[in-house]
Amino acid sequence: MPETKPTGDVRVTMYNVGFGDCFLLSFPYDGDGDRHVLIDCGTTTEDKEWMTKVVEQIEKDCGKRLDAVVVTHRHQDHLKTFGLKGLGERLADLKPKVVVQPWTEHPKAEAQATSAPSVYGVRGLAQIRSLDAAQDFAEQLVANASRLLSAAPADLAEELVFVAEANIKNKAAVALLSHMGEEPAAAAYVHEGSESGLEEILPGVRVSVLGPPTLEDTTDIRSPADRHPTQYWELGATLAGAAATADPSLPAKSALFPGAPTLPAASAESHVRWVMDRLGRAELWNATRIVEAMNDALNNTSVILLFEVDGKALLFSGDAQWENWAWALKAPAITERLKATTLYKVGHHGSTNATPQKLWELFENRGDENTPNRLVTLLSTKEGKHHRVPRCSLVKALQADSTVRATYLWEDSDQISKTYTL
């Protein structure tokens, strides 16, 4: 029997989802047509009407049949559409045979679990618990933003809420993903070095999982959450909750010190107002640090996939940052293969911490316009939403040394999608 493999060029479709990611990979096979893999479908900036158009376009592009869905990580800008009423169901109706997610999404490894598959040791479970508590904190912050951030300058408060919103739990999306597709769709919860779950869907394509690492086999993830795995976020969530319940319209009641009188700043004496002001600033600083750390921690649960077929190497890395990349970048057998990358989905919408210099320098297909097989980079992003993303210095490097396909640079801003043949 002849070996089965793709019989033509791979196509990649980019959907304009504002600040977020949504891609469709299409592999042609003789006999039974194309195989389609949807990678992420989220947004933090576009409304439901726009996302309905995106879903319609996906249905058209895949002929109402997806073979696999990959959701790189739990951020809104990667999975929100799966949780939008009506749209999530339409995506589920495309009946993917496999849903690929990071190991941190394994239902048996949920926050309250006391045992889980062997890949999740004590540290792994602690990490999952801390991520869960981090999302509780984000919810508290968003729900009570006007009170908690009253001392913050408007632009900083807006930025904080934007990032915190991306981190709130997407219960509807998570629930749908855990049992979408065929009856029952295979679920692959992957980590570096594990199988991708796409082996049978894409014969003749080598699909490798380069991240995220598990905490059992790396010491490179050193986030604050990791140093104090079970307490850091829970403490933050508790503080945010306490502050939220201390309603200034109810004098003589304090959540932290029941029975102690409280008074509005305007009627406090000047030396008390000075202290209140300083406390407000300290609280804002804490909230900022917590939100940033939480955002990084969830980004670092991103699935990193390398698709290799017929001399091409396509690299999709979600929002993975340095700590996630560290494992792949110190394995010579992998860095050797990364050199041949022909398409790179720019990490985290163009922030600099998601494209490690070491990774960028590996790519041998970088070069000016005359470079044969010049590297193609995909940048799905929106300006002015997330502080310094896309980052100017990175965009300049991308434009100098690769062919950039960027949704925010499309001439027609009403354009839903573009398909590129590789």
Residues belonging to the chain: 422
Looking at 69-77, 135-143, 255-263, 267-275, which segment touches Zn ion (CB under 5 A)?
69-77
CA distance 131 to 371: 43
Which amino acid appears at position 67 of this protein? D
Instruction: Enter the DSSP assignment of 141.
Output: H
Phi, psi of 88 (to 5 degrees): -60, -45
Tokens describing residue 346:
């720019």
Q: How many amino acids of this chain bind Zn ion (CB under 5 A)?
A: 3
Q: Which of 34, 40, 67, 77 binds Zn ion (CB under 5 A)?
A: 77
Looking at 68-76, 105-113, 258-266, 327-335, which segment touches Zn ion (CB under 5 A)?
68-76
Neighbours of 282 (CB within 10 A): 11
| SS3 track for 80-102 | HHHHCCCHHHHHHCCCCCEEEEE
Supply the minimum distance, in Å, between the C-beta of residue 305 and Zn ion.
Answer: 15
Q: Would you say 125 or 294 has its CB closer to Zn ion?
A: 294
Supply the minimum distance, in Å, between the C-beta of residue 331 and Zn ion.
Answer: 25
Q: Would you say 283 or 319 has its CB closer to Zn ion?
A: 319
Instruction: Enter the DSSP assignment of 185.
Output: P
Supply the minimum distance, in Å, between the C-beta of residue 77 and Zn ion.
Answer: 4
Q: Helix (H, G, I), strand (E, B), or coil: what is residue 345?
A: strand
Supply the minimum distance, in Å, between the C-beta of residue 76 and Zn ion.
Answer: 8
Looking at 63-71, 72-80, 185-193, 332-340, which segment touches Zn ion (CB under 5 A)?
72-80
Q: What is the dihedral of CA 356, 398, 78, 197, to 10 degrees?
A: -70
Supply the minimum distance, in Å, between the C-beta of residue 411 and Zn ion.
Answer: 24
CA distance 188 to 109: 14
The CA-CA-CA angle for residues 355, 360, 365, to 5°, reads 140
Looking at 70-78, 130-138, 218-226, 333-341, which segment touches Zn ion (CB under 5 A)?
70-78
Q: Would you say 277 or 292 has its CB closer to Zn ion?
A: 292
Which of 88, 131, 141, 90 minimizes the C-alpha distance to 111?
131
Radius of gyration of the chain, Cα coordinates, nearest whole angstrom? 23
Give residues 290-349 in contact with Zn ion (rule: CB under 5 A).
319
Q: Would you say 192 or 319 has its CB closer to Zn ion?
A: 319
Give residues 224-253 in contact with Zn ion (rule: CB under 5 A).
none
Q: Are 130 and 229 in contact (CB under 8 A)?
A: yes
x/- contact string, 87-126, with Zn ion (CB under 5 A)? ----------------------------------------
Q: Would you say 319 or 401 has its CB closer to Zn ion?
A: 319
Tokens describing residue 297:
């921690």
Q: Would you say 365 or 380 has its CB closer to Zn ion?
A: 380
Neighbours of 122 (CB within 10 A): 10
Supply the minimum distance, in Å, between the C-beta of residue 190 and Zn ion.
Answer: 18
Q: Would you say 166 or 225 has its CB closer to Zn ion?
A: 166
x/- contact string, 197-226, with Zn ion (CB under 5 A)? ------------------------------
CA distance 222 to 228: 10
Q: Would you say 312 or 345 has its CB closer to Zn ion?
A: 345
CA distance 31 to 56: 26
What is the rounded end-to-end Cα distance, in angstroms, of the chain? Answer: 28
Phi, psi of 11 (to 5 degrees): -115, 140
Supply the minimum distance, in Å, between the C-beta of residue 344 and Zn ion.
Answer: 16
Supply the minimum distance, in Å, between the C-beta of residue 166 and Zn ion.
Answer: 7
CA distance 275 to 149: 17
Supply the minimum distance, in Å, between the C-beta of residue 381 and Zn ion.
Answer: 9
Q: Would you say 75 or 191 has its CB closer to Zn ion?
A: 75
Q: Would you say 45 or 194 has its CB closer to Zn ion?
A: 45
Binding site for Zn ion (CB under 5 A): 75, 77, 319
